[in-house]
Structure 1
Amino acid sequence: MTELIALDVGGTHARFARATVRNGTITVGEPITLKTSDYASLQTAWEEFERVSDGPLPRAASIAIAAPIVGDTIRMTNNSWIFRTDAVDEQLGLDAVTLINDFGAVAHAVARTPESELVHIAGPDKPLPECGTVSVIGPGTGLGVAHFHRHPGGYHVQSTEGGHIDFAPFDAIDDWLMSKLRREHRRVSTERVHSGPGICEIYQALAAIEKRPEPLDDKTIWQRGIAREDSLAAAAVDRFCGSLGGLCGDYALAHGASAVVLAGGVGMRLLELLPKSAFGERFRFKGRYTEMMAGIPVKMIVHPQPGLYGAAAAFAAEHGS
């Protein structure tokens, strides 16, 4: 049995949990969540976790990070933390450490989670393929994208920075949105729209059409829109669902995917709404490939901590159990 600390470090929160790997079975304990903005670095957050933990910490860790795991220095995409890959073990007092992109970790979780924790969203209601590629996509503080390929005897995870591809307008409203974003940014990536904060951009585009200038923050738009307490916020949420469906279809085409799995905080907020929204229609709407797209199942992982579970799975894949 291997004991380790699993970490999931995102743009807003860092989640820590004790985990065990025994004969391929992964168990993750109750997480402790810290706000990244409250700590200067991973090391100071780790020290706080150590302070509030019961007993000494294992000398092994797997850290899922919302950034590309490339080179000697890792800079977070949506917060100010910086990691030195050659010094993390020494800084945290570890004998073994795994570093993985956060959505690479989620892909590990999807690859190993039971079908009971995958909820049907669109397409045929059938299990994930035993062989083939599965796209894993998750809107949250940013937009996470990864995929994994199942083959006889195992699977291989490929992390990506797919959230940073160009935003592709679909219609006149998107054209207006693109024009606005282009004035504000040198380059407009798709996570400017397909993320938690991105709902503000969609809302403002719709508000401009109706000449309703009142600004709302993203949390308010999500809350009012999902609850149907505000017609404009509801329209923005509905449009987000359809646009996300189109984007997920694009990733499925690019990955050659046999299935797609959604994850992330925004995805979970939309769990009940997505199957009834335009998500599925936009996912399938790919011209001559519409019939092919209709055969691809789309699911949502509902594991309570896929990033932590996947981090532990990545550690097991690298170091063994």
Structure 2
Amino acid sequence: MFDYTIKRILQGFLLIFIVSILTFLILKVIPADPATLILGTEASAENVEKLRESMGLNRPYYIQYIEWISNAIRGDLGKSYYFGKSVNSLIHERLPSTFLLASTSIIITFFVSILLGTLASLKRGKTFDHIIRLLTQISTAMPSFWLGMIALTYLAARLKIFPITPSIDFSNKLSKNIYNIILPAVVLSLGQMGPLIRQVRSSMIYVLDSDYILSARIRGLSSKKIIFKYALKSAIIAPITLTGLQFANLFGGTAVIETVFSLAGIGRLLVVSVEQRDIILLQGIVLFITSMVVIISIITDIISSSLNKSIKMEISK
């Protein structure tokens, strides 16, 4: 287990390193000169060149990359020339909103998917199973921005059940912030449920058809004990892995929902950095999101591996 953990950590560092190089090189291709964006198009060529020199933009790319990644390792992602603030502070300001949105969404997704996927596997081939499979396909196919607009129009604007422009203030109670975030979280979770429900259903069907479940039935164990103590515990490993990956991806995948609901999160900050061609901010956000995805993926893999090992030991007893 220790060797596996070290291996996954090293793979994570390698992936972050590769993504950082690709991000740096790709963004250099974008036709946007940071010095010109800072000073404006009316600035003289002499002043632009002086600023470029002070920012190190006239140096070779490999020198610029080494300096940027060295500062990033020390925790300095640079300064946004659109906001006039450090990238670290901007991410720190927006992260709590995105984290609360992603956490609430993934909790809803996980428990609803476990419930519906398990019921669909127990009712496989029947009407309930067909309905669930149809709903998962519909929820996956519908664009999140369209669902968000529908939810805002009917549930917020007309029925006034939820706020139109939800705000998150961490000086308030957690329950109030969750109430403000619940509508975009549900909309976000609808697009995540389809793959997870299918994963739970297929995993449960595979486990229920396995030999050790058959032997448990022969020993006369109750259906409730077989499902919750053995089948669900074994089938939950793959969905946990998928849930972890979905949670990691949500750190960079909330842009549409945050834009629709006017939430000040990491996703919205990413959109602004693209709109304003703020290369330094964009590089910092991409590196941060990549690091979060890798870290959460490693943690998820370790948890899944530990659960798989403990379940195998329990079954073998």
Q: Under a length normalisation based on structure 2, what TM-score does the superposition of the two structures give?
A: 0.23
Q: Under a length normalisation based on structure 1, what TM-score does the superposition of the two structures give?
A: 0.23
- Structure with the larger helix share: 2
Which structure is larger by alpha-carbon Rg, 1 or 2?
2
